[in-house]
Amino acid sequence: MIAGGLVGILLGVALFTFGYAGGWAYFGNDPATCNQCHAMNEQYDAWAKGSHKNVAGCNDCHSPHDNIIHKYVNKADNGFWHALKFTTGDYPENIKIREMNREITQEACLSCHANLVSDIESTRVGHANRVDCLQCHSNVGHMR
């Protein structure tokens, strides 16, 4: 009974904190939401200067497009880690994309630019070394 009460209290505090902090906004599609955390100011400013500003927001490049469940599970996972890192201050000055999110971004590039990269993709079949869009075009979404 005590363990159940403790879980209830922790869940209640977590939900209150999530609501009080405006956590529901992170389920939306407004890039300004990503800029609420000062650790993301550089990324947001770089996106605002880049070529994708008028055609793609954060979710277009950084959220999965295969299905809605995967999209929101990914957003919840990233949101948890972003909140934890921001709250504890335990993040590097130069934020790095996680491999899982890099793969999602790669798929987004290919989804939007399939007509431009189909010839390139067909020449890489069976290639031992994986080459992705971000290796050469890392400054496209976030102009530096």
SS3 sequence of the chain: CHHHHHHHHHHHHHHHHHHHCCHHHHHCCCHHHHCCCHHHHHHHHHHHHCCCCCCCCHHHHHCCCCCHHHHHHHHHHHHHHHHHHHHHCCCCCCCCCCHHHHHHHHHHHHHHCHHHHHHHHHHCCCCCCCCCHHHHHCCCCCCC
More confident site: 125 or 17:
17
pLDDT higher than 90, residue 122: no
| φ, ψ (nearest 5 deg) of residue 104 | -65, -45
What's the confidence (pLDDT) of residue 56? 93
Using one digit for the tens of pLDDT, what is the confidence trace for 5-64?
A: 888 898 888 888 878 777 777 777 888 888 877 778 888 999 999 889 999 999 999 999
Spatial separation of the C-alpha atoms in residues 131 and 102, rounded to whole Å: 12
Calculate the average pLDDT of the chain: 83
What's the confidence (pLDDT) of residue 100? 93
What's the confidence (pLDDT) of residue 99? 92
Residue ranges of the domains in the chain?
A: 31-137
Surface-to-core class of residue 33, CB atoms within 10 Å of its CB (0-12 exposed, 13-18 middle, 19+ buried): buried
The mean per-residue pLDDT over the stretch 60-77 comes to 92
Q: Give yes or no for a contact between 144 and 55, defined as CB atoms under 8 angstroms apart.
A: no
Q: What's this model's pTM, rounded to 2 decimal places?
A: 0.74
Closest CA to 86 of 44, 45, 39: 39
More confident site: 89 or 1:
89
What's the confidence (pLDDT) of residue 57? 92
What's the confidence (pLDDT) of residue 126? 56
CATH architecture under which domain 31-137 falls? Orthogonal Bundle (1.10)
